[in-house]
Chains A and B, each alone.
Chain A
């Protein structure tokens, strides 16, 4: 209090100036309608801005829990969407039993707790594991785009090889009825991937969508991976190299979903029976 009084005494000239100006402006506002309206609108604007700022602050406080809730809801919606796609197939083709590619697929939300972006072989660790129903081989999605697959797992954490790891290769298709190819990462740009083993005869254009084939069992067919950026034909062989823009954003990846098939075990046992 004493400091405040000292401050006022020290700056008494400014205090007097402000007081006199306030009196003058109040007088002006009371005697001129234009100034009165101007001050009223200024007051409303200031109050609006203040309330808006407060509101934003409040929403920031709950942002984390809101994100988490949205992620869970998104995951449920995706599962629902997969189920509906299955039903849609049955409804349309009633004559014979239709095996939907989305049958038995379900998703689990998770949050990334560790990720690298500067290495040749990047890694991601998430906060969900066996206890949450995630298994080795489950696919990971970032905002609906394919982002990686689980390679190691503990009770409460999972290690994921993202698309930006050079070791795994991914079976992909260009457009829904286009040619297949193998997607790899060259270890340079986190936003780009390269598709090889696509025949020169296939017409690929920049902007074509790149989707999963579903052959690896990690993802159902038709999930988006990215879009074609550049097509380059090799003179030496009969294939073309396609550079693509990855849909998943590995720089800001945080809330992800794991997608897996409850029927994978029976597929695995079927494959093992002939090996």
Chain B
């Protein structure tokens, strides 16, 4: 239960940061955009009911759309990501799979796994956003280019944030040890 609450709080914080701060992180004439709220989605525990990811994705999108006046764009992309999220998690899972409620963390699961997981999430989301925004198949290549740039930028920020939060939580850890002589 605690994991669930933590994940939802983290997601809310990420959404708030996206709305308040990262909404201005638009570069190269809209070709590279930061989607920081995806950090909250990457930190969701795996193994939940698949429909819940769908609803969380859609709700996250609705919040972003409401405050950033994107008019359903993030909701459409978030819903698609919600559908894909369990499959992405199973793609990067080790051979024995993840335990129910496991959160994919770079320090524990390895950075490669975390980066691949975040990359897939960010790419699916970015491509959906730009493809839906263009509104036609003819712009699929342009959408792909924009998605690639935005994925690169967002991924860098997500990995950096993840690293910083991880380091902070490690230093905060209690110094009382069960083995005081060590």
| Chain A interface (Cβ < 8 Å from any Cβ of B) | 12-13, 16-17, 20-21, 23-28, 30-32, 34-35, 38
Q: How far is the CB of B90 from chain A (nearest CB, A)?
A: 15
Q: Tell me, yes or no, whether B61 is within 8 Å of chain A by CB.
A: yes
Partner of A32, one of B51, B71, B75, B79: B71
**Shortest distance from the beta carbon of B103 to any chain A beta carbon, whole Å:** 22
The 8 A-B residue pairs with the shortest CB-CB distance, nearest first, are A31-B71, A27-B72, A24-B76, A28-B72, A24-B75, A20-B79, A24-B72, A38-B135
Rounded to whole angstroms, the CA-CA distance of A49 and B13 in the bound complex is: 48
| Contacts of B34-92 to chain A: CB distance below 8 A | 50-51, 54-55, 58, 61, 65, 69, 71-73, 75-76, 79-80, 82-83
Decide if A25 touches B51 in the complex (CB within 8 Å). no
Please name all residues of chain B whose beta carbon is closer than 8 Å to the beta carbon of A34 when the two chains form the complex. 135
* Residue contacts A-B, CB under 8 angstroms, 26 given: A12-B51, A13-B51, A13-B54, A13-B83, A16-B51, A16-B54, A16-B55, A17-B79, A17-B80, A17-B83, A20-B58, A20-B75, A21-B76, A21-B79, A21-B80, A24-B72, A25-B72, A27-B71, A27-B72, A27-B75, A28-B71, A28-B72, A28-B73, A28-B132, A31-B69, A31-B71
Q: How far is the CA of A38 from the CA of B138 in the complex (A)?
A: 13
Identify 7 new A-B residue pairs, CB closer than 8 A, beyond the known A16-B51, A17-B79, A28-B132. Answer: A17-B54, A24-B76, A24-B79, A27-B71, A27-B72, A28-B76, A32-B71
Complex contacts, B82 vs chain A, CB 8 Å: 17
Interface centre among A13, A26, A30, A34 (most CB of B within 10 A): A13
- Cβ of B174: which chain A residues have Cβ within 8 Å of it? none
Distance of A29 from chain B, by nearest CB (Å)? 8
Other-chain contact of B65, A12, A26, A27 (Cβ < 8 Å): A27
Binding site for A on B (CB under 8 A): 50-51, 54-55, 58, 61, 65, 69, 71-73, 75-76, 79-80, 82-83, 132, 135-136
**Chain B contact residues, majority secondary structure:** helix
- List, in ascending order, chain B residues with CB within 8 A of A12's CB: 51
CB proximity of A24 to chain B, nearest CB, Å = 4
Q: Is the CB of A23 within 8 A of B54?
A: no
Give complex CA distance A16, B58 in Å: 10
Closest to A35 in B: B135
Instruction: Please indicate the chain A residues that have their CB under 8 angstroms from the CB of B80 in the complex.
Output: 17, 21
| A26–B58 touching, CB < 8 Å | no
In the bound complex, residues from chain A placing their C-beta under 8 Å from that of B135 are 34-35, 38
Instruction: Give the distance to chain B from A40, nearest Cβ to Cβ, in Å.
Output: 12
Interfacial chain B residues near A20, Cβ < 8 Å: 54, 58, 75, 79
Taken together as a complex, chains A and B put the C-alpha atoms of A27 and B135 apart, in Å, by 14
With A and B bound together, what is the CA distance between A35 and B72 in angstroms? 11
**CB-defined contacts of A23 to chain B, threshold 8 Å:** 72, 75
Q: How far is the CA of A12 from the CA of B83 in the complex (A)?
A: 12
Query: Nearest B residue to A18 by beta-carbon distance?
Result: B79
- Give, as a whole number of angstroms, the nearest-CB distance from A13 to chain B: 5
CB-nearest residue of chain B to A38:
B135
Nearest chain A CB to B137's CB is how many angstroms away?
11
Q: From A37, which residue of chain B is reached at the shortest CB distance?
A: B135
Q: Report A25 CB to chain B, min CB distance, Å.
A: 6
B71 and A13 form a contact (CB under 8 A)? no
Contacts of A13 in B (CB 8 A): 50-51, 54, 83
Distance in angstroms between the alpha carbons of A27 and B78 in the assembled complex: 14
With A and B bound together, what is the CA distance between A13 and B135 in angstroms?
Answer: 25
- Give, as a whole number of angstroms, the nearest-CB distance from A14 to chain B: 8
Chain B residues with CB under 8 Å of A17's CB are 54, 79-80, 82-83
A31 CA / B73 CA spacing, docked (Å): 10
Q: How far is the CB of B152 from chain A (nearest CB, A)?
A: 26
Complexed CA–CA distance, A237 and B135 (Å): 76
Query: For the complex, what is the distance from the CA of A27 to the CA of B76, rounded to whole Å?
Result: 9
Q: Is the Cβ of A24 less than 8 Å from the Cβ of B54? A: no
CA distance A25 to B77 in the complex (A): 10
Known: A17-B83, A30-B71, A32-B71. A25 touches B76 (CB 8 A): yes
